[in-house]
Each structure stands twice: as structure tokens, then as C-alpha cells.
């Protein structure tokens, strides 16, 4: 006889929070309290209660056929992680870019209390209408819901102690920096060098400096300055993703994988499920050609390439050569199953690029929690007014990555 399953919203909500805690994304008692309080299922009424509290995103506004959704409820572990980075407190004035379902705004309202203020903005009127309805229904009508271009912020209600962005921008619009109070925090899932990471910035002396970054993925932001990531195929079923300021010629790279590979092994290894994600941002602080290597299963099965992660592996491109992250399986005679990290290089300089990537893997291996510092300056800042590091030029800002 099978015991009945308890599917009461309160029980499912507590299980959701317990899962987030077990996954290592819950470091704040106030965030935990908010997650255990706000009824997520009421913000996604078209989903089942089980799905509402599952650790997955829920599409609430489909995008074009074959494209990404226009709006969704984010994965709960990511929600908790970003709220932890934000560190919103009693009395804070918070701006959220991307209203979604209104659920995140309700969590923010819990965090800032009755003396704080939460403003959420979205460009889609139907999204803000639904968010407003859900917030009113659940007792969070004090949240200010605006319809407009999130890239412009909310100047009539600035300055803000905290700004959180729930879409994935390639660039940082000036309004976000200008409307952030001195000492305030901006948490944004920023794209650079083919990756996306939720970066927590603190505003100091008019510039932003990172204090944390975590792997994430969000619906890309659209609008002025957000089209700076380029992509193109270098072989059947294989593409690279790179930034507009990088000198990467797809025509020169086409066919490079047909050349023999030189594989170099780093000596660093991981167990199943162990993260290697910090290798990528560290590489962006040293290697100008860092980008994303993406291969479909067909290319791997054909023996054309063997990336560590098929659709999302860091790579280095330099002229007519490249190297990408790879790994090899555990020794069947070993007592512990470990996978060694390495780099596969192709082209005339492939071996040298593979060596350099392995150098970066070893740097990561010496301190697997180390993160580069990302400093954000206005686009017109001269080189001699910036800190040392690799400069990434975007439309509105210049990033300096210091490893």
C-alpha cells in the first residue's frame, strides 16, 4: 500500500526551500524566511502546484516560434542565489528590472519590510498587468509596478540602494549605474566572452566593482547596446560565441577542426558533479581570445571534437588556431572516479594555446574559489584612468577583468 503524498502548498514550499538549502544556495536567514513565506504557486496560476515548487523555470509568456520565452519564473535556486548576492535589508529602496510573474518582487518586499520600497519594471504591458494582479492578490500591492524600458531604470523613484536585473544583458545601461546610490549593490546576469554570470557589483567612487559572481542563465535582454555577442559556425554542428571587440575571423577558423588535435593535460581533476565554472572567468582576465565553444552531439559522435561540455565550454581563439576545454574519463583501476581536465588545440598555434589553457586550469586548481575582480567604467574612460587588467569594450561601459 502506497502512503499518500502530501501536496499542500505549504509543505511543497518548505521542501523547495530545503532543496535550495541543500544545494548550497541559501546563506541568509532573511532570504530563507521570505522564500518560506511567499506563495509561489499563486504567481504561476497556470502551473500545477507541484511544478510551482519544483526547481525549474516556468514559462509565462512564450517567445517567437523556436525562440526563447519572453518572460518566465526563474529557477528557485537561482532566485535564492541572486537574492543572497543582493543583500536587500529593511528600509532599502530596490529596483527590479524585469517584472516576470511578480514573485521576485514579493520576495523583495518581504526583505525590505514596510519601511522599504520595491519598484519593478517590464517592457511588456501584459507581463506587468499580470504581475500587478498577482501582487495585489497575495497582499503585496505596495510594490510599485511600472511598464517601460528597463534599460532606462525608474528615474522618478531613484536613487536605489539595490538594483536587481532578471534578464540577461550584454551591456550595462548608464541609467542603472547613475540611479544606484553610492555604496549600493547591482546584481546582474552579465554576458561577456561567451559566458553568463550573475555578478554582484558595489558602487564605489562612481564605478562598479564586483564582490561575487555565480554561474547562471537568463533570457537575453533586447534593446540598444545589447547585440554585442556574435556567433558563427566553424564546422558542421560547431560554433563559437564571442564579443564584438574581439578579433575573431570565422572564415579563417573554418575547417580548423579538420587539422590534427594536440591534447595537453593539466594534472587537475574533478569528481562527478564538481563545478569547473570559475575557470572561464579567470581565463577572461588573462586571455584576450577567451570565447565559448559549442558543439552538437553529432559533431562529437563524428569525432570532430571532444569538449568537456558540448554546448558550453571555454575556449581560446588566436588567429587561425584554437583550443577548448576537454576531459578524460576516470582510470577504471582507481579507487576514486575522477576526470582530468585538459585542452585540445587545433591549428598552427593549437599546442601553444592548449598549454596556455592548462596553465589557467592549474591556477584555478590552486584556489578553486578564486574569482577575478570586474570593474566597470563609463565607455569614455581613458586607459590611464582605469585599473590594470584585461579591458573589454562594450557600447556603454568598459570592463576591466583583473585575475
Which residues are catalytic, by number?
Answer: 74
Angle (CA) 278-283-289 rounded to 5° is 140
- Cα separation, 244 vs 231, in Å, equals 10
What's the Cα-to-Cα distance from 333 to each of 62, 265, 270, 273, rounded to whole Å? 49, 19, 16, 20
Per-residue DSSP letter, 220: B
3-class state of residue 239 by DSSP:
strand
Q: How far from each other are the two terminal CA atoms of the chain, in whole angstroms?
A: 58
> Residue 220 contacts by C-beta under 8 Å, 6 or more apart in sequence?
68, 167, 168, 169, 170, 191, 226
Q: Which of 188, 192, 190, 182 is nearest to 200 (CA)?
A: 188
Sheet with 93-97: list strands edge to edge. Answer: 144-147, 117-122, 93-97, 160-165, 180-192, 195-204, 207-215, 373-378, 397-402, 390-393
**Beta strand 117-122 pairing with 144-147:** parallel
- Cα separation, 235 vs 233, in Å, equals 6
3-class state of residue 308 by DSSP:
coil
Q: Which of 200, 351, 332, 173 is nearest to 261 (CA)?
A: 351
Q: What is the DSSP string of 116-170?
A: SEEEEEES-HHHHHHHHHHHHHTT-TTSEEEES-GGG--GGG--EEEEEE-SB-S
Amino acid at each position: 500500500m502506497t502512503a499518500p503524498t502530501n501536496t499542500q502548498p505549504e509543505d511543497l514550499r518548505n521542501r523547495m526551500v530545503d532543496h535550495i538549502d541543500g544545494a548550497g544556495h541559501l546563506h541568509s536567514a532573511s532570504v530563507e524566511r521570505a522564500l518560506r513565506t511567499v506563495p509561489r504557486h499563486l504567481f504561476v496560476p497556470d502551473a500545477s502546484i507541484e511544478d510551482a515548487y519544483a526547481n525549474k523555470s516556468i514559462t509565462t509568456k512564450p517567445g517567437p516560434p523556436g525562440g526563447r520565452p519572453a518572460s518566465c519564473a526563474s529557477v528557485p535556486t537561482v532566485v535564492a542565489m541572486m537574492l543572497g548576492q543582493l543583500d536587500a535589508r529593511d528600509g532599502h529602496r530596490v529596483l527590479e528590472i524585469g517584472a516576470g510573474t511578480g514573485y521576485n518582487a514579493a520576495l523583495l518586499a518581504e526583505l525590505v519590510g514596510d519601511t522599504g520600497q520595491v519598484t519593478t519594471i517590464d517592457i511588456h504591458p501584459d507581463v506587468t498587468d499580470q504581475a500587478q494582479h498577482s501582487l495585489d492578490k497575495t497582499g503585496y500591492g505596495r510594490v510599485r509596478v511600472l511598464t517601460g524600458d528597463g534599460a532606462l531604470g525608474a528615474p522618478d523613484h531613484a536613487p536605489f540602494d539595490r538594483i536587481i536585473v532578471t534578464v540577461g544583458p550584454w551591456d550595462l545601461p548608464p541609467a542603472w549605474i547613475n540611479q544606484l546610490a553610492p555604496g549600493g549593490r547591482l546584481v546582474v546576469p552579465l554576458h561577456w566572452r561567451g559566458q553568463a554570470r550573475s555578478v554582484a557589483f558595489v558602487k564605489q567612487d562612481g564605478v562598479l566593482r564586483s564582490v561575487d559572481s555565480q554561474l547562471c542563465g537568463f533570457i537575453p535582454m533586447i534593446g540598444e547596446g545589447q547585440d554585442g555577442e556574435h556567433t558563427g559556425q566553424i564546422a558542421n554542428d560547431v560554433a563559437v560565441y564571442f564579443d564584438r571587440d574581439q578579433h575573431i575571423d570565422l572564415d579563417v577558423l573554418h575547417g580548423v577542426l579538420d587539422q590534427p588535435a594536440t591534447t595537453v593535460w593539466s594534472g587537475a581533476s574533478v569528481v562527478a558533479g564538481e563545478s569547473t565554472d570559475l575557470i572561464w572567468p579567470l581565463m577572461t582576465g588573462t586571455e584576450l581570445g577567451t570565447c565559448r565553444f559549442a558543439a552538437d552531439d553529432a559533431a562529437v559522435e563524428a569525432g570532430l571534437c571532444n569538449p568537456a561540455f558540448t554546448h558550453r565550454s571555454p575556449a581560446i581563439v588566436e588567429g587561425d588556431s584554437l583550443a577548448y576545454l576537454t576531459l578524460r574519463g576516470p582510470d577504471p583501476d582507481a579507487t576514486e572516479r575522477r576526470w582530468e581536465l585538459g585542452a585540445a588545440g587545433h591549428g598552427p598555434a593549437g599546442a601553444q594555446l592548449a598549454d596556455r589553457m592548462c596553465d589557467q586550469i592549474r591556477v584555478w586548481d590552486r584556489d578553486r574559489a578564486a574569482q577575478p575582480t570586474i570593474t566597470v567604467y563609463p565607455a569614455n574612460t581613458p586607459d590611464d584612468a582605469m585599473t590594470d587588467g584585461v579591458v573589454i569594450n562594450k557600447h556603454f561601459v568598459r570592463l576591466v577583468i583583473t585575475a
